[in-house]
Amino acid sequence: MSFDSGYDDHYEAYESYFDPMKTDRQARRKRKPKVKHQPKKSHEQIVEAIADTQGLEGGFETTYVPGLFEEGWLLSALRSFYDQALITDVLARVRGGKEANVYRCAAHPTTGVTLVAAKVYRPRMFRNLRNDKLYREGRQILRVEGGAVKENDRRTMRALDQGSAYGSELAHTSWLMHEYRALETLYMAGAAVPRPIAVSENAILMGYAGDGSLAAPALSDVALDVDEARSLYDEVVRNLHIMLRHRIIHGDLSAYNILYWDDRVTIIDFPQVVDIGSNRQAANILHRDVVRVCEYFSEQGVDCDGDVLFERLWRRYKATSSREDAADASRAEIDEE
């Protein structure tokens, strides 16, 4: 198990946040809320109270045994999916990424599938924040209930600018909502992305690529024969067209964020998406995505050129951009990253 470098520094704060009693895991699971003396309840209130104890306290036992530090945020992030009868169990941790952990979950039959992936964003203090300024330009701050923060909402805008706890929480949720929105748009448009199933403040539930024992590897871990590489390259290019038609640039596209399973690709990891029309670096970001994709496919024997593909895509879709001058913007800034 590996953690972000800041993990150790924050461990104690984290532990006391989620486990102020510092009890062991079993004890914490059994811990009951303090009994308060309350006036007699009506029948309806009693039924409601019983329903409320279902879920975490009522036995959201998971096959996967989370670490002490992980349990609090994992179960609180997934509880709403459990309570909404979307998942019945957490089976395994697929991978711990820089910003999120992804878990293989047993899906509730109502979802129509047997397995789903839950991408649980780390609590703010445990995330390796990438330099997100580049991606934030021209993006709205999205809330989990839907809708964006209004520009004239001075109090909220101030919190965002000042990076208060409330502001950081909003920015964090917005990051995740951009990923969910992109998945919704692209999935509806027929792109090869996981099906978005549900979202909460800290997690996204989506279609899972893989089987009960193995999650799909990333293309970067797969060597393809040249015929298959050609057809998968065409499929990735088809997806680039779908994205651009919807003004979406992935922003972190490479063979690491394309999964491979059953001869098909699935493109993942969208929190940093940028709008082709409102980010002045759109051309550069798209250029970087396309070059990285072509680097991988060239290694697999496909005759492709990132610069050529970029020019072709940009020429075709830049009309949807309100900032055509972006094409001429220096690439230096982004290449330096």
Ligand X SMILES: Nc1ncnc2c1ncn2[C@@H]1O[C@H](COP(=O)(O)OP(=O)(O)OP(=O)(O)O)[C@@H](O)[C@H]1O
Contacting range for ligand X; rule: CB under 6 A; set: 45-53, 90-98, 234-242, 291-299:
90-98
194 interacts with ligand X by CB under 6 A? yes
Q: Which whole-number Å values give the CA distances from 218 to 17, 82, 306, in the listed order?
A: 35, 28, 20
At its nearest, how many Å lie between ligand X and the CB of residue 117?
A: 4
Token pair 């929105």 in the structure block, residue: 181
Distance in angstroms (rounded) separating the CA atoms of residues 26 and 18: 14
Please report the sign of the dihedral spanned by the C-alpha atoms of residue 253, residue 254, residue 256, residue 259: positive
Tokens found for residue 201: 């403040």
99 interacts with ligand X by CB under 6 A? yes
Task: Look at residue 98 and give the partner it binds from Mg ion, ligand X, none, a contact being a CB closer than 5 to 8 Å depending on partner kind.
Answer: ligand X
Question: By C-beta, is 259 or 290 nearer to ligand X?
Answer: 259
Residues that bind Mg ion (CB under 5 A): 257, 269
Contacting range for ligand X; rule: CB under 6 A; set: 37-45, 71-79, 136-144, 208-216:
208-216
Amino acid letter for position 212: G
At its nearest, how many Å lie between Mg ion and the CB of residue 142?
A: 20
User: Which of 107, 117, 191, 224 is the binder for ligand X (CB under 6 A)?
Assistant: 117
Q: Is position 262 annotated as part of the catalytic site?
A: no
Question: By C-beta, is 208 or 314 nearer to ligand X?
Answer: 208
CA-only gyration radius of the chain, Å: 22
Given a contact cutoff of 8 angstroms between Cβ atoms, the answer to whether 10 and 125 are in contact is yes
Given a contact cutoff of 8 angstroms between Cβ atoms, the answer to whether 249 and 243 are in contact is yes
User: Which of 86, 94, 120, 224 is the binder for ligand X (CB under 6 A)?
Assistant: 94
Catalytic option among 269, 305, 325, 335: 269
Question: By C-beta, is 174 or 257 nearer to Mg ion?
Answer: 257
- At residue 57, the 3 state secondary structure works out as coil
Residues 281-300 that bind ligand X (CB under 6 A): none
Task: Look at residue 72 and give the partner it binds from ligand X, Mg ion, none, a contact being a CB closer than 5 to 8 Å depending on partner kind.
Answer: none
Catalytic option among 83, 89, 161, 252: 252
Task: Look at residue 117 and give the partner it binds from Mg ion, ligand X, none, a contact being a CB closer than 5 to 8 Å depending on partner kind.
Answer: ligand X
- At residue 220, the 3 state secondary structure works out as helix
Token pair 């609090």 in the structure block, residue: 72
Q: List phi, psi (to 5°) of 260.
A: -130, 120
User: Which of 209, 232, 253, 267 is the binder for ligand X (CB under 6 A)?
Assistant: 209
Question: Among candidates 1, 299, 267, 329, which has minimal Cα distance to 134?
Answer: 329
218 interacts with ligand X by CB under 6 A? yes
Question: By C-beta, is 159 or 191 nearer to ligand X?
Answer: 191
Q: Is position 269 annotated as part of the catalytic site?
A: yes
User: Which of 31, 98, 264, 331 is the binder for ligand X (CB under 6 A)?
Assistant: 98
Q: List phi, psi (to 5°) of 111.
A: -80, -15
Buried b (16+ CB within 10 A) or exposed e, 133-162: ebbbebbbbbeeeeeebeeeeeebeebbee
Q: Which residues are catalytic?
A: 252, 269
Q: List residues binding ligand X (CB under 6 A).
A: 94-95, 97-100, 102, 117, 119, 194, 206-210, 215-216, 218, 257, 259, 268-269
